[in-house]
Structure formats: C-alpha cells, structure tokens
Structure 1
Amino acid sequence: MTANTTFPSLLEAFFTDRLLQQKQVSPHTIASYRDTFCLLLRYAQQRLHKTPAKLTLAELNAPLIIAFLDHLQQERGTSARSRNVRLAAIRSFFQYVALQAPNYSSLIEQVLAIPSMRYERNPIEFLTHAEIDALLAATDQSTWSGRRDRTLLLLALQTGLRVSELISLHWQDIVFGTGAHVRCLGKGRKTRCTPLRKDTVVALQTWKGEQQGSSEAPVSLVRGASL
C-alpha cells in the first residue's frame, strides 16, 4: 500500500479534497461527517486497541462498521434515523476510497451493501391559526428584540425557512415590490425563492427601517453588532 492510500491519508483527502474542494459541501455536512468519524475512530480504538493513525482499511470492514452502528443504538441511544445519517457518511467515504484504492473493492462492496435501517416517519405537524397568533403575540413589541423576533417568526411561519437559513439572510436576499420574495441558500446548497405575503412584506420593511442597515447587513442583526 502506498503512502497516499493508507487509511489516515485517505480520510484526510476525503475531507480536504472530496468534500471541501470537489463537492463543496456545507459546513453542516462537514461537521456531521467529522462527528461520525470521531465516533467511529474511538470505537475502533477501543475494540482493536490501535490508535487511529495505525488503523488500516482492512480493519474497517463491514462487520466492524455494523458493530459500530449497533453500538450507537444500543449503548448511546442513537435513533434509527441518526444511525442512517452515520452510515451515509461512512458510505460516502468508501465510495471515494473505491476510486483511490480499487484493490480494496471487495471490502468496499461489502461496506456499501450495509442496509439502512427502516423507521417510522412521523406525520409532519403544523401550527393552527390560534397557535400562530399566540406565538406572535408572545413577543414584546415594546422592545427592540421583541420586534425583531416577531418579524423573524412571521417570516419563518410564512416561508418555512429553517433557523440556519433565517440567520444567514441578508437584506439583499429579500426583494420588495411586485413579486416580493425571499431567496435563500438551503439544504444541499440549493437556492430557492419563496413568495412573501403583504403582511410579511410590511413587517420586513418596518424592521428594515428600524434597523437602518445596508443591503449586506443580516436581517437578524443582533443589536450592537457591526454593519
């Protein structure tokens, strides 16, 4: 095995080359994959009594990975859904390894064949009109932070933006006037546009006037933060 096809070098290249440069995945994906391999390396070290730097690809076989996934559920209380997220990260690594170390094709095929675990999907719940009104009414409109919170809640309730999407919004991402809408870079680095209702447009315009920020300023600006 050459130096650049050892497990440590492949894992490093997977993060720096595959994820960051080639696929340009989001920081959230990087963090999720990092956490997966931190857990896997700790488990392998305890089971094989070898430091991560001395692990080989041959040792990270399907039986060990299945045992690791079972360990997550049985001893750490990981849900089936989270187990599948960990497995997806491991699969992504081995798909990359398949291109870099084809001499491990059999091992890789076995790892990629590990099935995801089925789980019941709960129906998507939503707030009633009364609950929405109560949530918006809970904000203190006599305070700066209360007015900000009501504006962001109204925007989230109307558009369904995630918290991470909300806090990353800048005024240049919001288009007022005819065809008012908000643009955001969401999951999978996909840009989407969502139309805005008149009441949401009015709330955003009022908030923007109070904030007096530039187009590059974040919508969720914390008071006292630099523009």
Structure 2
Amino acid sequence: MKDQVQDFLHYLIVERSLSKNTLDAYRRDLAQYLKHLNEYENISSLNDVRRMHIVNYLYALRDNGKASTTIARNIASIRAFHQFLLREKAAEQDPSVHIETPKTERKLPKILSTAEVEQLLEAPDYSTPFGKRDRAMLEVLYATGLRVSELIELKMEDIHLTMGFIRTIGKGNKERIVPLGKMARDALTIYLDEGRGQLMKKNRTDMLFLNHRGESLSRQGFWKILKKLAVKANILKPLTPHTLRHSFATHLLENGADLRAVQELLGHADISTTQIYTHVTKARLKDIYSTYHPRA
C-alpha cells in the first residue's frame, strides 16, 4: 500500500505540479490513513477498502478532536488517492465516492490596521544587516501580498527594481508578476547595497533573503523573526506569517481596488477565495459605524 501512495505522490509531482507544502500534507494524511487501515481495520490491500472503513477513520479523527477543516482536508486526500487507484486500474472501485465532506465554518482572516502595519515596519533595527533584511522582507510582503513560502524562495533574478516588479512562482507552479511599490523598492535597495553582502559571507548563492549562516531563510526562521518584531512593535493581536498578506488584500479593497485585480495579485485560482476579504471590509465598516454613529 505504501508503494501505491508513492506512485500517487509521484503523479502529483509530475502531472499536477503541486507545491512541496501541499505534497507534504497529502503524504501526512495518507500515512495516517494507511496506519488506521492496517492497525484498526486489518486491511493489507487497498482493493479491500470499503466505505465503512473510511467512515470509521473519519470518526476516529473526530474523536481525537480534529477540526472539521482537518477532516475535510483528509477526505480530499483520501478521495484523490482512491480516484487515482481506480483510474490506474490498481483498484476495482472507489469507496470514497459517497463520503460527504463536513461543512466548515469559514473564519474571517485576522488583519492589521494601517497604523499597526506602520508600527511593524518600523520595528527592525535599521543599523544592522539583519534589520535591513527584516525591513525589506516586511515591506515586500505588505507591498505584494506574497505568501511567505513565495517570499523565502525569491532569487536575485526575480527582483526587477528599475521596472518595479517581482516575479514569483505560486501554487500549482504558476508564475505571476506583482508590482512593487516605492517603499518596498527603497528597502530592498538598502538591503542589497548594505545588508545582503554581509549576511552572505563567503557563500555564493542567488537566494534573496539569507539567514545568519548566509543560507536561504526558512519558513520557521521567518516566523521567529516576525514574532520578535511583533513584540517590539507592541502588537498584541494574534499574528501569523499570513497576516501581512491578509492585510495587503483588505487594505487594497478598502481603498477601492477591483476584486479581480486583487485575485490576480494574490494568485488565487478561484475568485471565491478572494471574496473572503470583502466580508472583512464589511465587518470593519460595521465596527466603524457602531463606534462613531451617534444613533448606532
């Protein structure tokens, strides 16, 4: 069964060009699924899997306190896997075909106000190479709405300061070109002129943002930097690496940007994903009304 999972993952890499993070999620989900089938259902062949076995596994996830979003993702992984087996004639039927996906509550993303963004952008110590790097990273994130994974994978050749844009490869290996504002260009110029060379040391790398060893910065490394800067900026609300991306989209819409344009900038395949930010702006308008209208 493990070999069949490997075949499926190889298919996702070659045919679907999925990102590493998505592949890792499939790998984790299916490893847990196979473990359940083997240990609790006594199944050694995927051809013997029936609908009740999948349902039992989903009940086990729920009993272990897994969120509905996690269960929904597991169903998607299991369904894609069984459809692959059926298509490749490695199985005679698809036991996941009538499994219902649980309804998930769509939470509004947490965002920063423009004042809080300013506080965060001013937090790095500009007198050090690390501060110049951190300021440049934050400016780029807020100016472009890049995912953190896209930010840390930027190479020198992806930055076009004179023309004012960044080239990035997003989900599904799709390229997109994102405009770069003046503040972000200025911060990047200072980092490239006065910070990156000191961080690079004796290494020769084309990665844009580097850690203290002169190597590519990791997601975990960025997350630690962000938490430290949030404390320094006295930002008390929950902050994640995606918060600046959420703030970028919301602030654009609040200032009159077209929803389709924001979709393109964020790299969303489906506009329904982008529409969540319209709910955020409506919620903020309601808060403003309640606070300032004398008859609210």
Q: TM-score, normalised by structure 1?
A: 0.83
Pair 184,218 (structure 1): closer, same or farther in 2 beyond 3 Å: same
Q: Where does residue 19 of structure 1 map in the other structure?
A: 12
Pair 43,209 (structure 1): closer, same or farther in 2 beyond 3 Å: same
Q: Where does residue 135 of structure 2 map in the other structure?
A: 150
Contact 2:132-2:187 at 8 Å conserved across structures: no
Q: Which of 202, 205, 215 lines up with 2:189 in the alignment?
A: 205
Give RMSD over aligned pairs.
2.3
Q: Residue type matched to 2:27 in 1?
A: R
Contact 1:173-1:183 at 8 Å conserved across structures: yes
Distance 2:121 2:193 in 1: 20
Aligned length: 211
Matched, 1:183 2:172: no
Distance 2:147 2:189 in 1: 21
Give the C-alpha shift of residue 48 in structure 1. Answer: 2.5
Pair 44,220 (structure 1): closer, same or farther in 2 beyond 3 Å: same
Which string of whole-angstrom CA distances, capped at 9 and with x for unpartnered residues, describes residues 32-74 of structure 1?
1110111112212221245xxxx11243222111221221122
Distance 1:127 1:12 in 2: 41
Contact 2:41-2:53 at 8 Å conserved across structures: no
Contact 1:94-1:111 at 8 Å conserved across structures: yes
Distance 1:61 1:36 in 2: 18
Q: Larger relative CO (CA 8 A, sep 6+): 1 or 2? A: 2
95-104 or 83-92: bigger deviation: 95-104
Matched, 1:116 2:110: no
Contact 1:171-1:215 at 8 Å conserved across structures: no
Pair 216,123 (structure 1): closer, same or farther in 2 beyond 3 Å: same
Matched, 1:10 2:4: yes
Percent of pairs identical after alignment? 28
Give the C-alpha shift of residue 218 in structure 1. Answer: 1.5
Which string of whole-angstrom CA distances, capped at 9 and with x for unpartnered residues, describes residues 73-106 of structure 1?
221x22111211111111111111111227623x
Distance 1:90 1:83 in 2: 10
Distance 1:118 1:133 in 2: 37
Pair 226,35 (structure 1): closer, same or farther in 2 beyond 3 Å: closer
Give the C-alpha shift of residue 167 in structure 1. Answer: 0.6
Q: Which runs of 5+ in 1 are unaligned?
A: 1-6
Q: Which of 135, 143, 148 lines up with 2:120 in the alignment?
A: 135
Other structure's SS at 1:104 match: coil
